[in-house]
Amino acid sequence: MTKDFKPFVPENSTEAEMSVKAVVVGVFLSAVFGAANAYLAMKAGQTIAATIPAAVIAIALFRLPFMRGGVLEQNITRTAASVGEALVAGAAFTIPAFLLAQVGGVHIWADFGSHFWESVVMMLAGGLLGIFFIIILRRPLCVDSDLPFPEATACAEVVKAGQHGATEAPRLVFGAMGIGALLKFFTDSLGFHVFRESMSGFFRLPHAFISHLDPDKVLIGKVEHAGAVPYATPSALSALMGVGYIIGPRLSAINFSGSVLAWWVLIPLVLFVDPDLPRRLAAPDGSVAAWDVLSFSVWFNIVRPIAVGTMLVSAVYTLYSMRESLLASIRGALGAAGHSAAGGVRSRLDQDIPLKWIVVSIIVLIVPIGVIYYHFTNSIGSAVLAAGVMTVTGFILSAIGGYLVGLMGSSNQPTSGLTLSALVVAALLMVAVGVKGLPGVAAVLGVASVVCIACSVSGSLIQDLKAGHLLGGTPWKMQVAEIISVTVLAFFLMLPIMALHATYTIGSRALPAPQAGLMAVLSQGIVGGEMAWGLVGMGCLFGIMLIMIDAPAPMLIAVGMYLPFETTSAIFVGGMFKWMADFIVARKKLSPAAKDVAEQRGTLLASGFIAGEAILAIFLSGGFIGMQAFLESKWIAAHFPIALQWVSARFPQFQGNFDISCTRLLANKHELEVFAHWGGWLSLIVFAVVGWILIRGPFRKGLPE
């Protein structure tokens, strides 16, 4: 620790820190942020770091008369609260792959319900391993290095500012959460459906007769070509626009460019050059396939494998371009033990969980993971190999991820790229020892899941430890709070993932889960031997071409190709809102202090939109599942037939399923007439409200001179 460093709370402070209320509130907030990010991770393929919103909410809560608490208690609450986002990000990026991956038409898992405990063990082990791995790196990364830790530093400044009089941050976050939830209620099909989320269609291309010639320019024949260009309006979802606002206009435009390439170039090209495709994909009654059906099929089966190849090359290139930083991180990890052993009695600010307990805990955690891998492969040797790969790659990649968080913040940590490295290593080793088919794919995904969760949690914790270091928190108490939070949440966070799958179906256009799809395709391709290698190879060549021309963020372009057009275009709209806000900043010629306040206000408002919409989506999913279970329960039918009859009358069947929605409950209709005729136009209200708040909200009165 540098001699001139002085934390916000002095070393000799006797202020309360790890109280029961601080931990309980932190775990509760962690569950909320985790559930919200489960939706966002599988909807948009991204999550938003919960560190700053958690700090803001902690400040507000600990000002209540019955919750009075200081900075150190707020720090514990924030630390416990932020891990939910990280834990669910690692899980949502990988565990759904067990549903998506298949070999010979057989899926590894048919559902989540019968594999709940395997998921819990992987989440628990991955989360705890991530904590223990990064504790070893706390001193070299947080204390001895000069890494900027941008998000941790910003979080510490928010907390410091919140201790001096009133702060507007909680009002901004909670207000945006309420508005985001309200807009979602009127947009979601399970809510009171007034706004249409998105509208889609296609533009027919004119018929063209193309003369095909051989190399000697001799006519081979003429072929009539036709086709269509699919289109979709941006999703009227405040959460996606909030994501775009936070990542900014440049990154949102890069992401959107991938969708433009996929939906307005590649799909029309395939439809144009294969004029016989509608007939070959005809329905059983002989009618040719509609253009919208063809567009979706081409995107799902042809374009997405190309995107997978581009993602793979992009991930490798990302790690290669960071090779010097990665090597520095590994060197720091190897030198950590020496730092820990040096010196006598350490101060409160430099006390970690003892190293011997960390080593014992890691060994203990490897055992249940090995059992899970044996369950997947039915081979002791393969299970031991998978556990070894998981441990080694998990530690190395957690060290790498922690260093990158110090450079760029946890929101920019390349978790997918790090996980793909572990997946490819595990897959090649499984093939080398002869474990193939479903057992091999399951083992590889098991390694990837634990490593991904470990990397995600370790990145979150190192950011929290740095913020705590700046504020004067006790490291070992923060680490214990994180362990408690991970242990509790591992048993809870599969529930929102299961609820979202039951409502929207993971892998569908409504919930594409791009990272999980990528993991599934690669694992079944390498180990299961089922992959459209030609398409993946084209994607790899496209990725190499992007690198050769120094294209910005090839991974974002590939993710844009993989996501539905309405999703990336909504993120792009949010990025444009941020561009307009930046334009106002430049025009007003604000002072640096005023710019910082405006930036912080916009980030808090966008975070509130994300949290509000995502939380309501979880509640609507839970209500849908609960009501469906009630209507289908034989026990309810036997013991409460009158109640079941009344509820069944309220939610009659529609197209073979119970028509469960707030529209049916409140208006006793499947669909409102205003929605049927004007839902698309009314959705402009959503864009107007979100745009006004994100563009004008940061510049309300109170900016410093």
Instruction: Give per-residue pLDDT as tens, 408-446.
Output: 566 555 566 667 667 777 777 777 777 777 788 888 888
Per the model's pLDDT, the better-predicted residue between 361 and 529 turns out to be 361
The pLDDT of 266-282, averaged and rounded, is 83
| E strand or H helix that includes residue 513 | none
Please give the model's pTM, rounded to 2 decimal places: 0.74
For residues 503 and 624, the answer to whether their CB atoms sit within 8 Å is yes
Residues in a beta bridge with 102:
107
152: left (phi over 0), alpha (psi -120 to 50) or beta: alpha
d(CA 393, CA 130): 12
Residue 525 pLDDT more than 60?
yes
Q: Which ranges of 505-658 does DSSP label H, i.e. alpha helix?
A: 514-526, 533-548, 554-562, 565-588, 592-632, 634-639, 641-650
Q: Of 525-539, 646-660, 671-685, which has the strongest mean pLDDT?
A: 671-685
Each residue of 633-643: pLDDT tens digit? 777 777 777 87
Percent of the chain with pLDDT over 90: 10
Tell me how far apart the alpha carbons of residues 11 and 49 are, in angstroms, rounded to a whole number.
Answer: 28
Q: What is the pLDDT of residue 625?
A: 67
According to the model, what pLDDT value does residue 413 have?
59
Query: In terms of Cα–Cα distance, which of 622, 615, 625 is closest to 38?
Result: 615
Write down the pLDDT at residue 419. Answer: 73
Highest mean pLDDT: which range of 213-217, 278-282, 328-332? 213-217
Q: What is the pLDDT of residues 151-182, one digit of tens each?
A: 777 777 777 766 765 567 778 878 888 898 89
pLDDT at 218: 84
In the chain, % of residues over pLDDT 70: 86
Instruction: Flag the least confident range among 113-117, 213-217, 425-429, 676-680.
Output: 425-429
Give me the residue label for tokens 């180990």.
527
